[in-house]
A = this chain, B = another copy of it.
Amino acid sequence: MSDRILLDCGSGGRASHRLVADLFLKHLGNPELNRLNDAACLNLKSPLAMSTDTFTVDPIFFPGGDIGSLAVHGTVNDVSMLGAIPRYLTCGFIVEEGLETDVLARVVASMGTAAREAGVLVVAGDTKVVPRGMVDKIFINTTGVGEIFVDPTPSGDRARPGDAILVTGSMGDHGLAVLSTRQGLAFDTPVVSDAASLNHAIARLLRAVPEVHVLRDPTRGGLGTTLNEIAESSGVCCEIVDEAIPVRPEVRDGCSFLGLDPLYLANEGKFLCILPGELADAALDVLRGDPLCAGAVRIGTVTDAHPGKVVLTTRLGGARLLTMLEGEQLPRIC
């Protein structure tokens, strides 16, 4: 293969076939992908969960991950949030002409490792190469399917007054790690992305406590936006306690330096769990047994005080609305 990705590599001809064989099949290969048919043939038990996400993160390598592993984690997590075991992924690559072949190889190898760890197979793929300047390096779409194993499924419209609101760890790590790498900022304590596949943790949780009402991963828009979506969909009030929300000191310091609020920064390895209050301790016990959720805590309660709103209180008794932002001014975090 040449040192750089050429337009020919996306043409469907010999150069495309070499790229597929030498790079994609090498790192992602399995019997179904290796058939190279127009579509993969799969066996899955219904009901199914299906989700899609496109990754445009800049830079493509950041502390704690890269665009390849992130593309696996992100979709594995979205499928898991419906109470499903993710099984299969498809990958769609858009590559800029001239990208170093080694860079693409590192990204694809990283996807392969992430997929094996999550226990999912990549069963179909597509690669387009576009002329230089028509895309920034590499964008990746992943779409996943999985088997739903709880009934009813967790859903954003199922939060009820009396439910406890849990998060599985510190907020804002991913967003700040990517942003500070992009800006070339160095903090005393480096900020590392939390990007990880949460499917195994979610499966353990739901097997122990199937009565979970809502599962969501607070990615774009962060905890603040995700809670607002849930409050609106369920017609309830999410009351959370400021001091209870875990934020690493280095993330708090970095945010205060940059004028950002960690509650609106993207996370890629944490989830929100809303469930009947009396089950909160049991859920926290299960969660804390998983290294990815060791920092799980209760951050608040669902009430009927202000339907559709999120209220942030302090232990001293202050309270303010945590609104959904218009935008977040941090494009290309995922």
Q: Which residues of A contact B (CB under 8 A)?
A: 6-17, 35-56, 58, 77-79, 81-82, 84, 88, 90-94, 97, 123-126, 128-131, 133-136, 139, 141, 143-146, 148, 153, 155-157, 215-217, 219-221, 225, 229, 233, 324-332
Given contacts A41-B49, A43-B48, A327-B7, contact A54 B92 (CB under 8 A): yes
Give the docked Cα–Cα distance between A195 and B91 (Å): 23
**Please, which residues of chain B bring their CB within 8 A of the CB of A153?**
41
The answer to whether B52 and A11 have CB atoms under 8 Å apart is: no
CB-nearest residue of chain B to A127: B54
New A-B pairs, 14, CB < 8 Å, besides A35-B155, A39-B82: A7-B329, A38-B217, A39-B81, A41-B47, A41-B48, A41-B49, A52-B143, A54-B126, A90-B143, A126-B141, A133-B133, A135-B139, A141-B141, A143-B143
- A-B contacts, 6 listed (Cβ < 8 Å): A35-B157, A43-B47, A50-B145, A54-B94, A56-B94, A135-B136
Given contacts A51-B40, A84-B39, contact A328 B13 (CB under 8 A): yes
Identical chains in the assembly? 2
**Please, which residues of chain B bring their CB within 8 A of the CB of A129?**
331
Given contacts A51-B124, A54-B126, A124-B52, contact A78 B44 (CB under 8 A): no
Given contacts A11-B330, A54-B92, A331-B131, contact A46 B42 (CB under 8 A): yes
